[in-house]
Structures are given as C-alpha cells and as structure tokens.
Amino acid sequence: MKAKLIIPAIFISSLLLTFSCKNEKKAAAVPEVKRQEWAIVMHGGAGDMAQERMTPELDSAYRRGLKEAINTGKKILSEGGSALDAVEASIRKLEDNPLFNAGKGAVFTHDGKNELDAAIMDGSNLAAGAVAGVMDIKNPITAARTVMTKSEHVMLTGIGASLFAKEQGLEIVPPSYFYTETRFGELQEILKKEKMGTVGCCALDKNGNLAAGTSTGGMPNKKYNRVGDAPIIGAGTYANNATCAVSATGHGEYFIRWTVAHDISALMEYKGLSLKDASELVVNDKLVKAGAKGGVICLDNLGNISMPFNTKGMFRTFATADGKEGTYIFKGEKE
Ligand code: ASP
C-alpha cells in the first residue's frame, strides 16, 4: 500500500522540480535577440587588388553589378520568397555579368578553356547540389540547384553534368559564350594577376531558412580538370539552419583542406562561438597561419552578417530587413 503511494509521490515531486528548474532558467535567460525578418549577403571574389589600378569606371561598374545582384535577392526575400530562390537569382545576375569570374567572364584554364564550378545548399534540410568542370551550361548555379532537387546525387561533373542539364532543359551555350578575350582581354589580365572574381551569396528568408551558393570559373591557369573549393560542400559552400550559411572565395586548395565553410559552422555549433568570432578565427587566424588568401561571407540564423577577408579587398554587398545595406570593395571601407 505504502509503496503504491511513494512512486506517484516521487513522480509528482520530480515533475515539480523540473518545472521550477525550467522557470528558473527562463528567469535567468538573456533577453531574446531580435531576428532580422530576412537578410542577404554576397561576395564577388577576394584578392590583393591594387586600388590604384582600379579605374573609377571599373570601380563603379563593379559596385553597380553587386548592387543589381543584391537588389534581385532583396526583392525576393522582402516579398516572402525563399532563401534558395534569392541565392540562385542573385548569383545568376553575377554569372551573367562579365566582370566576375563566374558564368560569362570566367577565367581561362591553362589550355584556354573555361571550366565552371558551382554549388548550392539548403540550410533547412542540408540538401545540396553541385556541378564541377562544366563548359556549356550558361548558369552553373541553376545546374547545381537542379542537381539538388532533380537528381539523387550531390555533385555531377563535366560531360555528365552537361548531359543532365540538357535533359532538365537548362540553357546550354556553346563554349565560346564564355570566351570574352577580345572584349575583356584587359580584364582577363587583371583577373589573372589578382586571382579573383568568384561569386557567392547567403540568404535568410522570412521562414527562418538559410541557404548558400557559390559559382566560379576557378583559379586562372588551372590544369588537368582541377576542381576548387566552391562546389565542395563544407569547403567553399555550406548552410545549416542550426548555425549559419557560408560562401567562400580564395585559394581553393587551402579552403578544401581547411574545410573552411563547415569549420565556421562547427565552431558555432560545438564551441558556441558567435558568427563573427567563428568567421574571424577561420579567415584571419587559421587561414593566415596556413598562408591561404581569401575571405568568406556568412550569415547566421538571426540575420547577423560577417564578411572577413585577409586580402587587400573583397567585392561584397549586403542588405537586411531593418533597412541597412552596403557595398564595398577595399579593406578599410567603413562597413
Ligand atoms: N575559390 C576559387 C577556387 O579555388 C577561386 C576564387 O575564389 O577566386 O576555385
């Protein structure tokens, strides 16, 4: 009889204890941080570009290109569209802009070809898609998204990726579409020296979903079907609603081995670092010590943005629901 009473008593008192502990926790909790309704950040590559070599015309053309791209994503997000749609559409703008090393405007391989890499990731379910070494898909970021949604795979390369894109009805162009030497010979020279112009985007939508995407022609003068970090999930591209979205730009051979994008997310997840501290640690400490040049743009699930780089400049632009926005190229520009 007694035993029968003791068990429910233990149960009730432990319930009460849990309840009071929960309440205590609540009382001690820090005030809730307000989350941005939506946010978006993009890069157009990082490098040691010499400010004196940038003509005022080129400077404003780059800034105009970045603003056009971010405005595309901003419109989608403010109207309630998804982070994935914003990432894809904004990156397509820069892929179509010959100033950037992605899509039209991609740098040349050692053999004078253009081989393009791209990836996209959905932070809500960790779905991802990527293409590498493609030569005739007009918008590799769309191909990456199609791999994510319409195939059972994460990454397709070369001829197989092209075949898949054709089957899916994506826009195919002759490889000469990417060949912009006559019109942009001068620019190619700059890109070759500065090794920059990759594009990337991270977005947070009104539903709290994060997405990241990156698209590039890779490193100029690359050989033997070299693939960089951009299409490798966790290296150049990563998104996870639990932590952040990241898109990287820089010397891919380092970004792959230092698993840069995932490292930032892991530092947040396992060490509780803020987005800013995690991204600064990776870019301005770990990568610097490794001798790797580059930067990242990233966005956490509250809409905080961080854009660290360890080069002289990084094309970058952002916009948030509270009306803040900015477009920058060089280090030291007031953000
Ligand atoms: N990360 C790219 C690659 O290694 C290049 C770049 O971002 O400039 O392919």
Q: Which two tokens stand for residue 25?
A: 């926790």
Give pLDDT, residue 108: 84
Element (H, E) at 268: helix 260-271
Give pLDDT, residue 2: 47
Global pTM reads 0.88
Which amino acid belongs to residue 10? I
List 198, 216, 237, 249, catalytic entry: 198
The atom of ligand 1 lying closest to the CA of 197 is: 8
The atom of ligand 1 lying closest to the CA of 196 is: 8
DSSP notation for 143-209 = HHHHHHHHSS-SEEEHHHHHHHHHHTT--B--GGGG--HHHHHHHHHHHHHHT---EEEEEE-TTS-
Nearest CA to ligand 1 atom 7: 249
Contact 211, 233 (CB under 8 A): no
**Which residue from 229, 227, 223, 240 is spatially nearest to 293, judged by alpha carbons?**
229
Report CA(119)–ligand 1 centroid distance (Å): 13
Distance (Å, whole) CA 237 – CA 210:
12
Q: Is the minimum distance from the CB of 70 to ligand 1 under 6 angstroms? A: no
Give pLDDT, residue 32: 60
Q: Is the dihedral of CA 130, 136, 142, 146 positive or negative?
A: negative
Q: Is the minimum distance from the CB of 311 to ligand 1 under 6 angstroms? A: no
Q: What CATH code is assigned to 39-330?
A: 3.60.20.30
Contact 220, 267 (CB under 8 A): no
Q: Which two tokens stand for residue 330?
A: 């060089």
Q: Is the minimum distance from the CB of 104 to ligand 1 under 6 angstroms? A: no
The atom of ligand 1 lying closest to the CA of 227 is: 9
Give pLDDT, residue 211: 99
Q: Where are the domains of the chain?
A: 39-330
* Burial degree of 185 (CB within 10 A; 0-12, 13-18, 19+): exposed
Distance (Å, whole) CA 181 – CA 108:
9
Q: Is the minimum distance from the CB of 195 to ligand 1 under 6 angstroms? A: yes
What is the chain's pLDDT, residue by residue, as a tens digit (335 residues)?
444 555 455 444 454 444 444 444 444 455 566 899 999 999 999 998 878 778 899 899 999 999 999 999 999 999 999 999 999 999 999 999 999 999 998 888 888 889 999 999 999 999 999 999 999 999 999 999 999 999 999 999 999 999 999 999 999 999 889 876 544 565 556 555 655 789 999 999 999 999 999 999 999 888 999 999 999 999 999 999 999 999 999 999 999 999 999 999 999 999 999 999 999 999 999 999 999 999 999 999 999 999 999 999 999 999 999 999 999 999 999 87
Mutational test site, ligand 1, from 192, 198, 260, max ligand atoms within 8 Å of CB: 198
Pairing of strands 127-134, 116-122: antiparallel
**Which residue from 276, 279, 309 is spatially nearest to 294, judged by alpha carbons?**
309
- Direct distance between the N- and C-terminal alpha carbons of the chain, in angstroms, rounded to an integer: 72
Report CA(197)–ligand 1 centroid distance (Å): 8
Q: Is the minimum distance from the CB of 313 to ligand 1 under 6 angstroms? A: no
Nearest CA to ligand 1 atom 4: 252
Q: Is 198 noted as a catalytic residue in this protein?
A: yes
